[in-house]
Structure 1
């Protein structure tokens, strides 16, 4: 860790490939009159250090396609998911709202969980759909589903009056019936989706609200794959999920390119989350073990997306966003061995903590935007943004006003995209949340943690309230609450104010 602190200037790409490219390319209204296609590639549990261009100290994995996005696009070096775990991060990305404003205060949903998105809640997809976009979601949903119920259980399920936090019983589900509460009811014209993570049963894909393969078998689970036991469609092949998603995304882009209409493709991948199942041609190709090999399946998605955009002649006016739902998971359980860094690969680029934590390693994520028509030269934006900011950004791009019940915690970074000379902060504060429901507040370089420890799996000995200066101490090694009690108290008050408000944007 000391070596990294001494040597690793975070996102040292800024000095390697970008610093010489600070150009003054303000764009006219004519330049942006054509709505861009948007492809949002959302990796699962991928750390900043898994992209080789963003981790020059420990390049155990070579990712040429993701490096191309970095070398041709805009890197946000202080970008964050709203949480250290999957479900809340995905909720915030799609709605522009912190997930803890719902009744879901901690943890994630499972494959049998009731839907998290309330009926009528606006999403990025529905905003774009209402403004002329074709929309699609291909991949991991992880926001719950309202499964169809066998006739004999309908009254029992109705009597339970299910809500967020409740789960269906597997014996109640009729897999031949429509699955409701998913992407199609929240702004997506087309959806092909797995309801949870790739290690969560039932293992099946849903298309047009119908389970695509309704012949199930019982999967016993594989400890070495880190996959849970449960029902699995007979055709479901863990190792072929990523190639399948890649092919479907490629086909969707090709089809929509022929229509001439703008499209939004939300592509939440199942990798490199467990189970680690790289395709055969990737095995052994990295120096980071089977996890590193699985990252190459993510890189292949990016490579194919770039290729098909170019083949179809729509590369220039397509905005690709690459990010991850949270930081990488380094351990397989609290106090269990670190199976990734055994290979000397720093998946979170040396940041303290990991998935689930409120420390930076839990939620500071890669965030790269490539849009040749708008972003003419590579550059780095150093101020903080959150993934929930996509909603307000799209709204400003489309010249649409958000109502008070849309994107309540979303702030637009549109000015950063369209003007390379824009270097001002786009938000004054940012809240991060851990798997156990612990809060952290960012204000500029200062970070306040309302609680002891990580709120996740990283164990340490800290005071009940913590304060860090990330400008001086990005790796969160020097706790400053005793040294700056007034700042700590003022940030605690600000945190409570934001939590009690209807939305950060509305304060």
Structure 2
């Protein structure tokens, strides 16, 4: 054999061996995204929680928990967009609020997702659970509009949706090999399961508006419903599908499971087994049931013998929708000591639990004060799998070093944007957080309910005022000026990673 040819052959074999070795070292990744669960719900993070969470407590003890983790929005659709794309949702067409069940797909064709990046690293990918990022529903009559006037929130049925056809723009069109989803939240129609973007059963009827007057949170909107859809069994149904994916995954390849739960978002439907388990009412019981779902996933991983090299992440899409009246009644602080709740620009709206277990790399009982955001998943997994961070993931920063025990974090390095339900902005840099409104930016304290003589913005030092009670706006005009300048650059799309 020609010596040069032999040398090339040896080099090629070495490269292939190295690539195979790298692939074999890649861990499985499971990302569990709770829906409307607060930092203070978990006993391991809040000793005064009225809810038993043994499985999440175990996860905390066996991994690392972040005390300064944030969803990129205080409501669900924009957080899901940021999680999968690595970019803030205000850069998309959705500037405030959330999508409803029949709205068009939100993730742009030009934007790369986490699933697509991991596909390139030889991962099997699946999305199981609540999608809530829009779908391009097929029309029965292409010459007519999908809807006929009215507010999308009021539309509960349309004769022009073809539920028998494949809905495009869903998980399988943005990089997932397999998907089993519901279109939006458990209280937003249409109520239908889609497997690989196709309905699993006919949609023969409509369900009326439902409210159980005995307990807050037990309600859902009227709308189209499929024959195999039962609100009370959805959480366990999607859990079974997630378990099926884990157990059937090709053992020769790593897998990525994106598992966005439907709980503990309304309607609160704990099964009989969990009713009365907590001291925080029906909501608390539903959180306990959510904890059990995490336990089922942990047990599945253990049975498969893949615990050590599986990264298991648990977080939430925003804070809990826990009212002051709920706190008073149950003495349970779902959002811990933080001000506000889901929807708000205050910390209670977007500071979330973020727990990671990876026995091969993460030291048990670790904690981190590193400020991280849900948009950071993209950069972290790209670094983990030796992939380039997509240019479109402009708001994503890797937290991989923190997982592996980096002890020193320069808080000045990170700028973070917070966003509320009505599109209000806040900017965090180092210890300072500037809020571009007088109130909460959401449901706790609307702008029109604020003191008319209050400063136009709020400035808090998050190192010594984590509950956001002492507005320093008038004391530090130079900090206000600098943060406003930087925030304006983000709003105009001129600032990114």
TM-score w.r.t. structure 1 length?
0.87
1:53 and 2:44 are equivalent in the alignment: yes
Instruction: Quote the Cα distance in structure 1 between the aligned partners of 2:43 and 2:364.
Output: 20
For structure 1, list consecutive stretches of 5 or more residues without a partner in the other structure.
1-29, 332-336
45-54 vs 458-467, greater mean Cα deviation: 458-467
**Deviations 1:292-327, CA, capped at 9 Å, x for gaps:** 000012111110111111111100000011000000
CA distance 1:503–1:139, shift in 2 (3 Å): farther
Instruction: Quote the Cα distance in structure 1 between the aligned partners of 2:268 and 2:413.
Output: 37
Instruction: Quote the Cα distance in structure 1 between the aligned partners of 2:154 and 2:333.
Output: 37
Instruction: Quote the Cα distance in structure 2 between the aligned partners of 1:313 and 1:503.
Output: 44
- Determine which of 426, 450, 458 is the counterpart of 2:444: 458
231-240 vs 173-182, greater mean Cα deviation: 231-240
SS of the residue corresponding to residue 220 of structure 2 reads coil
- Determine which of 317, 320, 326 is the counterpart of 1:328: 320
**Deviations 1:207-245, CA, capped at 9 Å, x for gaps:** 022111114322112122221111111321111111111
- Determine which of 209, 215, 218 is the counterpart of 1:221: 209
Aligned equivalent of 2:97: 107
Q: Is residue 452–residue 464 contact of structure 1 (8 Å, CA) maintained in 2?
A: yes
Which entry has the higher C-alpha Rg, 1 or 2? 2
Q: Is residue 116–residue 143 contact of structure 1 (8 Å, CA) maintained in 2?
A: yes
Aligned equivalent of 1:127: 117
Matches within 5 A, 1:485-504: 485-502=477-494, 504=496
Q: Is residue 112–residue 169 contact of structure 1 (8 Å, CA) maintained in 2?
A: no
Aligned equivalent of 2:14: none
1:259, distance to aligned residue in structure 2 (A)? 2.5
**Deviations 1:456-492, CA, capped at 9 Å, x for gaps:** 0112544211100111110001111011111111111
RMSD of the alignment, in Å?
2.2
Matches within 5 A, 1:157-172: 157=145, 170-172=158-160
Instruction: Quote the Cα distance in structure 2 between the aligned partners of 1:344 and 1:158.
Output: 46
1:414, distance to aligned residue in structure 2 (A)? 1.4
Q: Is residue 198–residue 270 contact of structure 1 (8 Å, CA) maintained in 2?
A: yes
Aligned equivalent of 1:182: 170
Aligned equivalent of 1:437: 423
- Determine which of 231, 234, 240 is the counterpart of 1:241: 234
CA distance 1:204–1:55, shift in 2 (3 Å): same
- Determine which of 24, 27, 39 is the counterpart of 2:30: 39
CA distance 1:238–1:166, shift in 2 (3 Å): closer
CA distance 1:411–1:94, shift in 2 (3 Å): same
Instruction: Quote the Cα distance in structure 1 between the aligned partners of 2:247 and 2:147.
Output: 46
CA distance 1:222–1:158, shift in 2 (3 Å): closer
1:501, distance to aligned residue in structure 2 (A)? 3.5
SS of the residue corresponding to residue 416 of structure 2 reads strand
1:169, distance to aligned residue in structure 2 (A)? 6.7
1:212 and 2:212 are equivalent in the alignment: no
Aligned equivalent of 1:19: none
Instruction: Quote the Cα distance in structure 2 between the aligned partners of 1:234 and 1:205.
Output: 10
CA distance 1:426–1:491, shift in 2 (3 Å): closer
1:277 and 2:263 are equivalent in the alignment: no
Q: Is residue 291–residue 340 contact of structure 1 (8 Å, CA) maintained in 2?
A: no
Instruction: Quote the Cα distance in structure 2 between the aligned partners of 1:281 and 1:158.
Output: 42
- Determine which of 84, 87, 92 is the counterpart of 1:94: 84
Aligned equivalent of 1:232: 225
SS of the residue corresponding to residue 156 of structure 1 reads coil
Instruction: Quote the Cα distance in structure 2 between the aligned partners of 1:427 and 1:307.
Output: 38
Matches within 5 A, 1:271-310: 271-310=263-302
CA distance 1:426–1:95, shift in 2 (3 Å): farther
Aligned equivalent of 2:330: 343
Instruction: Quote the Cα distance in structure 1 between the aligned partners of 2:473 and 2:440.
Output: 16
Count the aligned residue pairs.
Answer: 463
SS of the residue corresponding to residue 38 of structure 1 reads strand
Q: Is residue 412–residue 429 contact of structure 2 (8 Å, CA) maintained in 1?
A: no
1:381 and 2:368 are equivalent in the alignment: yes
CA distance 1:103–1:468, shift in 2 (3 Å): same
TM-score w.r.t. structure 2 length?
0.89
SS of the residue corresponding to residue 144 of structure 2 reads helix
1:364 and 2:356 are equivalent in the alignment: no
CA distance 1:390–1:341, shift in 2 (3 Å): farther
